[in-house]
Amino acid sequence: MEENVKEDAGKEEDSRKAKNLTFGQIAIANKFATPEQVLEAVLIQKKMKQMGLVPKKIGEIMVEKGYMTQVQADNIFRIQGREGGHKQIEGYRLISKLGEGSMGAVFQAKQLSMDRIVAIKVLSPRLQRNQKFVERFMREARAVAKLNHINIISGIDVGESNGISYFAMEYVNGPTLMSILKRGGAIDEKRALNIAVQVARALEHACKHGLVHRDIKPDNIMISKDGTAKLCDLGLAREAGEGGSATTEHGASIGTPNYISPEQARGDPDIDIRSDIYSLGATLFHMVTGRSPYSGSAAVVMTKHISEEPPDASEINHEVSSEASALIKTMMAKDRKGRYQNPTVLIEDMELIIKGKPMRGPGVKGNESAVMAKIEEEEYAEPEILVEPLGEGEEEGGEEEGEEGEGGDSKSSHPKRKHRRRGRRIRRRR
């Protein structure tokens, strides 16, 4: 009971500190703005969210309105940083930092309203003023909101608190695929294929919703304790056919060099799901060999992705089957027309290899694979028996090839024996 009281008191204290460190509260406390001006800015921000727009920061709105100067807004940001306001997300209690990247950090946190553990991605304060980075951050949240699949990290909440953009998502209690590879090197082919096929199912779901991930790599694949693979980080995701270059404003290609597709490395604008299939192939190569397909500087590696055929995985690791090696080569074909054209057919071939059966290759499209499977089944079925009427001059019950003839030798067990029945000749055909 006493522990519960202490925990509740701790929550109230966290909540009080968070409220006192909001941009608006600091502005009012320092007499930079009136409560009415702060409320107006808050309502404008709320309206932008309701309209589906990327909301401006409270400070940005207040500076534009002339309610405070940019110097005053910068002072508030410094106060938040000094007092830890940049780590206070309203409605959440941050527990520990899970990782940090170029765009910000990811924290393990508790969502206070639902009393559950979540992961929160926080945009770096230095990027908050760059609208392009804010838009990319919000784009990930919108992309995740469209998707609902067991192999894709699910989104929970997105917003802005204390001048910082945040995105709350499902917490996965497990490592990234990259950390597994760094720790243990190459993994067993069957396990690698089981991970890859789960990611392919995630891509299939994204493809059905018109999304291309554009940054498939081991760092963006989480593995839960029960072995479920979860695709994350959709910050680069775009709708298929959506305008926009595959390069940054400085001309740098979007994607990760070790796993980037040739078309992304070139900066082609028309990136589709086949680019993700290539990157998944490079990721599968890393899983079964313990190394990425190419080595060298980022520029050298990207050039190799464009012009150099990938090594044979089975030559690097002799335990890799020829089927898995061929699958990877097909996924990583330089010309995307030579790759699997959609995740569905790729999934079917992966599942066939896992079962120890020959794969069908990328030429089969969509539902055609099911038809091909039926044809194959019929071809290996029992021979068809065709019934023909007797020809002129043939008598019912007479001797036929395969029946007992001179010498009394019986050939009734011969598979090519022809039968006679009720005045008709019966033959087999495959």
**Range name among 90-94, 97-101, 308-312, 426-430 with the lowest pLDDT average:** 426-430
Q: Any idea what DSSP says for residue 171?
A: -
**Range name among 74-83, 101-110, 357-366 with the lowest pLDDT average:** 74-83
Would you state the pLDDT for residue 21?
A: 60
Of the candidates 215, 219, 233, 276, the residue annotated as catalytic is: 215
Q: Convert the pLDDT of each residue in 225-257 to its tens digit.
A: 999 999 998 766 665 555 444 444 434 445 689
177-378 has which fold? Transferase(Phosphotransferase); domain 1 (1.10.510)
Active-site residue 270, yes or no?
no
- What homologous superfamily does CATH list for 95-171? Phosphorylase Kinase; domain 1 (3.30.200.20)
Angle, helix 189-208 to helix 322-331, in steps of 10 degrees:
30
Q: What are phi and psi of 393, to 5 degrees?
A: 95, -5
Q: Which of 151, 13, 181, 165 is nearest to 93 (CA)?
A: 13
Residue 291: count other Cβ atoms within 10 Å of its Cβ.
Answer: 16
Could you tell me the pLDDT band of residue 128, with boundaries at 50, 70 and 90? confident
Q: For 133-226, where are the E strands, in sequence order?
A: 155-161, 164-170, 211-212, 221-223
Residue 12: count other Cβ atoms within 10 Å of its Cβ.
Answer: 10
Average model confidence (pLDDT) across the chain: 79
**Could you state, in order of their start, the residue ranges of all structural domains in the chain?**
8-88, 95-171, 177-378, 384-429
Which span out of 1-10, 16-25, 222-231 was modeled with the highest average pLDDT?
Answer: 222-231
The full DSSP string for 62-128 is HHHHTSS-HHHHHHHHHHHHHHTGGG--TTEEEEEEEEE-SSEEEEEEEETTTTEEEEEEEE-GGGT
Q: Convert the pLDDT of each residue in 278-336 to its tens digit.
A: 999 999 999 999 999 999 999 999 999 999 999 999 999 999 999 999 999 999 999 99
pLDDT of 390 strictly over 70:
no
Q: Which of 283, 282, 285, 277 is nearest to 200 (CA)?
A: 277
Q: Any idea what DSSP says for residue 424?
A: E
| Alpha-carbon distance values, 337 to 246, 277, 330 (Å) | 19, 12, 10
pLDDT of 47 strictly over 80:
yes
